[in-house]
A and B are shown apart, each in its own frame.
Chain A
Amino acid sequence: MLRRIPPCLRQSILTSFSASAPHCGVHLPEPGLSPPHALLQQWRLCSSAASPDSPPPSPPPPSPPKVPPLTGGRSTVSSLNPSEVAKFAAIAETWWDSEGPFKPLHLMNPTRLSFIRSTLCRHFRKDPFSSKPLEGLKVIDVGCGGGILSEPLARMGATVTAIDAVDKNIKIASVHAASDPSTASIEYCCTTAEDLVKENKQFDAVISLEVIEHVADPLGFCESLSALTVPNGATVISTINRSMRAYATAIVAAEYILNWLPKGTHHWSKLVTPEELVLILERASISVQEMAGFVYNPLRGEWSLSDDISVNYIAYGIKKVETPSVEPQSHV
């Protein structure tokens, strides 16, 4: 359908995005701009723990560890300082307490993973009955938080690199992953997608869940994700729709009725609709193949995949081989 859109219109649509945010690259949590996520606000609270407006629900964070400056690129946390590890272990407890504040996220995780599993199995022609279908694939989790998605990916056999711009998250994730041999191989780095692009890193699959709505420049971010994906590789992105229902649940309910989040946490205008996402990804040489919505059943307390993409949704696309062009491309 995209090829039906007149080039001039597409041009204007796409430039209207980049114009709003001249700086390319990942821009992780702005202060006070914690995630507009209906039921996943805690995830955001923690991953944007740098924000003074939204203290994490965990015990007060320890004094800032000596972190190599983010601009300095990667700080691979392989050699852990025992005293720091101990401090972060206490916070990891909150991240990984499946009955704790992150419970909604833990509940949603299997649903996200079943989408990723089935799309990647088909994309890479892997045996869906295998217990480790992602074996042999290099996968990156961009914006990994405490590693809630990275660990299952590693158990499914993938060679996982996981990055987050918040150093504390990386430490929590590293400590937790080390306690299980099947996840100890995950390479956690405190860095940004943009920096990895500069290092010419590439992955078979690039996964970035619940991140794009927080970046200043979605197009630049998607271009980074695209650059990290090998040609014909897979990209998976999930986010929240800019719909009336999302407004009602993520902003009105979460901030004003339930007081789960400080008022003003969500910026309505930063949310991305599925149509926008498809166009942005198209511009970044990724052609979207599938989309699905997540719906929450409060009675059963379970999430499931559905056609309803009006609130939470996930998209999977293929990195195109040809060079990106503004001209509409014929694609399958």
Chain B
Amino acid sequence: MTPACASAFSTLLSRGRCFPAASRIRPLVRAFCDAPPRLQDAAAGVASSQDHAEKADDVKARPDELDIAIVGGGMVGLAVACALSIMPLTKHLRVGIIDSNPALKSRNYLKKDGTPDSRVSTITPATISFFKDIGAWEHVQQQRHAFFGKMQVWDYTGLGYTRYNARDVGKEYLGCVVENKVLCNSLLLRLQEEQGDIEKMIYPTRLMSLSFPSKSRQSPTSEAVSSGQTSEESHRSNLVKLDLSDGHTLYSKLVVGADGSKSNVRQTAGIKTTGWNYPQNAIICTVEHSTENDCAWQRFLSSGPIALLPIGDNFSNIVWTMSPEDSLRHKSMSPEDFVKSVNHALDFGYGSHPHTSRLDYYMEKLFSDIGSTAASTKECFEVPPKAVGVISERMAFPLSLKHSHDYVSKRLALVGDAAHTVHPLAGQGVNLGFGDAAALAKIIADGVSVGADIGDITLLKRYEKDRKAANVAMAAVLDGFQKMYSVDFGPLNVLRAAAFHGAQYISPLKKNIISYAMGDTKWPLFS
């Protein structure tokens, strides 16, 4: 023991009094404060002696019983499965993925020379590091993906623009545009590597009904006991029952609802949502340029933002929000007219280019005096590359903001769009979803490490608490942007322009906005 303790003891003894309460015994070692094993460690692979025991477990495990049933094998659902399969504490868990999507049968890299799919995601450095942690990033790298290091945002009034550059925040890139099917495929391939045979894991069918344990789920009911219920039945009454469309029934300790914004799981569980539909649709498609595009472009029009995202080679992805009537028109017009319309919207359409004005002059003077201008302040406005052709079908879908009141209940956790849908204007939706997946997997690992029941509400509440704040903040920021641009009113336009100028010139603010959009910081203004 330490000399400090010894002296404390001799002091109290010399006073002739027994045990005053003040002295302390310091812990000799504090290794119990060990952080839970990190994903990287997991990926490195920790040889464990438990494999033997796990096999024994598998033998006695009933085939229709799971530890975790993931409903929905989309990007976020697969990410949860993947993260669980690589962590030493959770890889023994029996995980099932319920999804009838035939894409889940893919086991090969998608060819790079095909036409890019129009459903793409702009993933942030935070998401990329999650993919690296779970070992799926190397598969993404083998398929089509496009990093971008520059971004230009401007508005239709011609008063403001801002250019972001990765080097402002000391990074090599701001984000990466990847087709959704590439992300799914990479996660599947990674899962295959970990599990050997993932056929057993994937249930290519649909969920018909879901029944959660009743209120008295924690213990056998009196009827159950007196009717001579077997121990198997009594413990199944404590699990979630999932009826599948192929006639099978599964029982699981935990159900993860990863089935999108219209989540069947969420509705069955009776979890309410708050939100509203935006009076806008989004049109997405892939366009071709004559040269390679290496910058992400976004222009705020009075009808909604239009984004042009590089997807590799000479291709770009268009995400264009507009009124539902316009979207129908744009969907049905000829490809030539559509290309013309896109080029118009990204150039002189709806208003002039931002130009150097007296306002700029004073702004620059002001901030150069302060000496904190960001490196890209001097960068001039550029016109995005022209589209030369539209090479995919145009898809239109309605936009909404939706937030689930609860992310968890007993034996249930919602992730991704099932828990929250945000405006797609900054491509943040799926990044929030991957954030959910990482947080949920970590909480489950924490639970396993202390022997918790993984469907325990106390445990799952920690996941909800972790994620709700992040998701609500992002939804509010994006909703604010949407609202700000839905009004075409002179004084407001000037204010918006001033805000853009502010973002362009006030270096710390700009850095924070970039960091927030990259998934680094919690809040763009107060960090």
Contact = CB atoms under 8 A, between A and B. Distances in A.
Interface of A: 1-2, 4-6, 9, 13, 16, 80, 82-83, 85-87, 89-90, 92-93, 96-99, 103, 106-107, 109-110, 113-115, 117-119, 122, 127-132, 135, 151-157, 175-176, 178-181, 184, 241-244, 246, 273-276, 278, 288-292, 305, 307, 309-310
20 contacts: A1-B9, A82-B228, A86-B225, A99-B457, A110-B450, A113-B451, A114-B32, A122-B29, A127-B48, A129-B41, A129-B48, A131-B89, A153-B451, A155-B451, A157-B53, A178-B220, A179-B234, A243-B21, A275-B19, A310-B24
A130 B25 contact: no
Contacts of A103: 458
B279 interface: no
Contact of B218 (A96, A106, A309): A96
Contacts of B32: 114-115, 118-119, 290, 292, 305
Contact of B13 (A5, A98, A178): A5
B458 A106 contact: yes
B22 interface: yes
Contacts of B33: 305
A120 B512 CA distance: 44
The 7 closest A-B pairs by CB, nearest first: A152-B451, A86-B222, A1-B6, A113-B450, A155-B451, A1-B1, A118-B32
Contacts of A152: 450-452
Interface of B: 1-3, 5-6, 8-10, 12-13, 18-19, 21-34, 37, 41, 46, 48-50, 53, 60, 88-90, 92, 216, 218-222, 225-226, 228, 231, 234-235, 237-238, 446-453, 456-459
Q: Is the interface of A mostly helix, strand, loop or mixed?
A: helix
B3 A83 contact: no
B18 A16 contact: yes
A175 B219 contact: yes
B25 A274 contact: yes
Q: Is the interface of B mostly helix, strand, loop or mixed?
A: loop
B19 A127 contact: no
Contacts of A305: 32-33
Contact of A5 (B10, B26, B231, B449): B10
Contacts of B31: 118, 122
Contact of B235 (A155, A181, A288): A181
A201 to B, nearest CB: 23
Most buried by B among A16, A119, A290: A290
A241 to B, nearest CB: 6
Most buried by B among A13, A85, A129, A175: A129
Contact of A135 (B18, B19, B50, B448): B50
Most buried by A among B6, B216, B221, B451: B451
Contact of B458 (A98, A113, A127): A98
A129 B91 CA distance: 11
A89 B456 contact: no
Contacts of B28: 289-290
Nearest to A184: B231
A127 B13 contact: no
Given A1-B3, A92-B219, A130-B50, A273 B19 contact: yes
B219 A176 contact: yes
A242 B31 CA distance: 26
A86 B452 CA distance: 25
Given A152-B450, A274-B24, A1 B19 contact: no
Nearest to A10: B13
Contacts of B6: 1, 4
A197 B187 CA distance: 55
Given A129-B89, A130-B50, A291-B26, A83 B21 contact: no
Contacts of A154: 451
A186 to B, nearest CB: 12
